[in-house]
Structure 1
């Protein structure tokens, strides 16, 4: 990567961190995309002002040839659009090549969700006889009761819990704080986890984080993913389930039970209600499935 492009990427990442206040995960995604693009431009021996829409399209074509998913290409286009928008705004480039690049259409994709019965099966897997079993049950209860993102779950601190009020607070995307109700069942499991299991996991350490690993340290995103995969397998659920699946399930189930879409938007921390509207499509899809399965003349 040439020094010029390297410096431009570094300046842009500094800008979105300091001026825009974007989350570490978002910055990491942009950094990864821009590094890949920078490496490609370096192989073409191009300077920033030599990059036009033909170069961009050639790069996107190469991503397709490498078998990258449509969503990955769309994300790359978004990263480059914002990067070159910044460069043009700062007069680092004379022309924004992304003005001549149309983003590929996003494929219609409805996220996978679990039924209420599958949620129950998942919750029944962890044993109450071990500290890790209680932690795992509590973790699933909290994810399903609140619709937290996995990053929000692992960064949840003891000071964020207000169980007597039935509320928790969290910092979501864009460092936006929101207050979420937590049901009685999940709150009871948190109390059970705190009374014995969390103390056993701490092993005389101290930690501000709610969920801990077996060494008494903060549980990682990868750790949560592995726990859920293991529980799903044990529950005999034949679906590709991730922590986000529980968030999708939370949103879909409360919509199906009559919650207002604006309320769901607030609970999930979506900046735009159009993001939340996908759950109405899931509900309609499930309605059709129920009709097909149970109506005698379907």
Structure 2
């Protein structure tokens, strides 16, 4: 090899060390999980543990038959559960190949089961969302609902917000969200949400203080936010168990219904592909061929 005109020789052992950066399954899994979100680390670590327990051997010895047997073992489970498990294994094997721990991605040929798009089942009406907001106690809980609906952050993104992420923008405000995949997006918020955030901010709040405080003074946990949203749904008389992500779905669907451009909704939600955002168009159609049949 040549670097800046200097010839550098490498032995075959040194080359192997450069390529294969893990020597055990445990090291591989630790490296694989390293840059993932905390919630993803927990879920993926569990999936990897279950798979290794099932096959009873090193990942370097597994075959496609082992993976297929593992998938068959989960017969009867929901397709989404099977898909999540298999996708975790495929991700692990792909990473193992990239760093030289596995000779090739043995899981690549196996396809996850197709999952029914149930987005439409998790989109509330505007009236239902407004009822949740109106019935919420003023202060923190009300502001959480407003931010979830109008800025559409994921619950983990909301919990990580600091006051340095919240800034004025004209007569309203904006929120900078550090999101999935290490991507940052800045979202304009309506005046109602901006005013609620200003009321929530204490005079002595520092830039790195959490926007939404737990009882101990740190960032709120995602489970706390889930409880707040669930209780808001119950107060509004909604029979389904509403989660924070439902309000994200509602933002997308309601804004598209109101004429918002698809690319703008995509940017607000932080989707990497417009195809992901377009599912909301199909979830709440405004028209269909059957409407023209005269029946």
Task: Using structure 2 for the length normalisation, give the TM-score.
Answer: 0.82
Aligned pairs (5 A) from 1:51-130: 51-64=62-75, 67-111=76-120, 112-128=122-138
In structure 1, the partner of 2:262 is 261
Q: Report the Cα distance in structure 1 between the residues aligned to 2:27 and 2:80, rounded to whole angstroms.
A: 25
Q: Report the Cα distance in structure 1 between the residues aligned to 2:38 and 2:202, rounded to whole angstroms.
A: 33
Q: Report the Cα distance in structure 1 between the residues aligned to 2:31 and 2:60, rounded to whole angstroms.
A: 21
CA shift in 2, pair 1:137/1:49, >3 Å: closer
In structure 1, the partner of 2:209 is 208
CA shift in 2, pair 1:190/1:99, >3 Å: closer
- Secondary structure in structure 1 of the residue aligned to 2:176: strand
| Match status 1:11 vs 2:1 | no
- Secondary structure in structure 2 of the residue aligned to 1:280: helix
- Secondary structure in structure 1 of the residue aligned to 2:219: coil
Runs of 4+ in 1 over 4 A off after TM superposition: none
Quote how far apart the aligned CAs of 1:110 are.
Answer: 2.1
Gap runs ≥5 in structure 1: 129-133
| Match status 1:157 vs 2:162 | yes
Q: 2:186 aligns with which of 179, 191, 194?
A: 179
> What RMSD, in angstroms, separates the aligned Cα atoms of the two structures?
2.8
In structure 2, the partner of 1:35 is 49
Comparing 106-115 with 154-163, greater Cα deviation is found at 106-115
Q: Report the Cα distance in structure 2 between the residues aligned to 1:186 and 1:89, rounded to whole angstroms.
A: 45
Quote how far apart the aligned CAs of 1:87 are.
Answer: 2.5
Q: Report the Cα distance in structure 2 between the residues aligned to 1:230 and 1:222, rounded to whole angstroms.
A: 12
Quote how far apart the aligned CAs of 1:82 are.
Answer: 2.0
Whether contact under 8 Å (2:229, 2:244) holds in the other structure is yes
Task: Using structure 1 for the length normalisation, give the TM-score.
Answer: 0.81
Quote how far apart the aligned CAs of 1:30 are.
Answer: 2.1
Whether contact under 8 Å (1:9, 1:34) holds in the other structure is no
Quote how far apart the aligned CAs of 1:214 are.
Answer: 3.3
Comparing 32-41 with 83-92, greater Cα deviation is found at 83-92
- Secondary structure in structure 2 of the residue aligned to 1:163: strand
CA shift in 2, pair 1:277/1:9, >3 Å: farther
Q: Report the Cα distance in structure 1 between the residues aligned to 2:23 and 2:245, rounded to whole angstroms.
A: 34
- Secondary structure in structure 1 of the residue aligned to 2:117: coil
Quote how far apart the aligned CAs of 1:245 are.
Answer: 0.4
Q: Report the Cα distance in structure 2 between the residues aligned to 1:141 and 1:32, rounded to whole angstroms.
A: 34
Quote how far apart the aligned CAs of 1:218 are.
Answer: 1.8
In structure 2, the partner of 1:168 is 175
Quote how far apart the aligned CAs of 1:9 are.
Answer: 4.3
Quote how far apart the aligned CAs of 1:210 are.
Answer: 0.3
Whether contact under 8 Å (2:52, 2:58) holds in the other structure is no
CA shift in 2, pair 1:218/1:47, >3 Å: closer
Comparing 162-171 with 134-143, greater Cα deviation is found at 162-171
Quote how far apart the aligned CAs of 1:97 are.
Answer: 2.5
Q: Report the Cα distance in structure 1 between the residues aligned to 2:128 and 2:207, rounded to whole angstroms.
A: 35
- Secondary structure in structure 2 of the residue aligned to 1:224: helix
- Secondary structure in structure 2 of the residue aligned to 1:75: helix
| 1:185-244 Cα shifts (integer Å, max 9, x gaps) | 001111222259xx8xx9xx9971000133433211000001111111111112231000
The structure whose residues are more often helix, as a share, is 1
Gap runs ≥5 in structure 2: 1-21
CA shift in 2, pair 1:90/1:120, >3 Å: closer
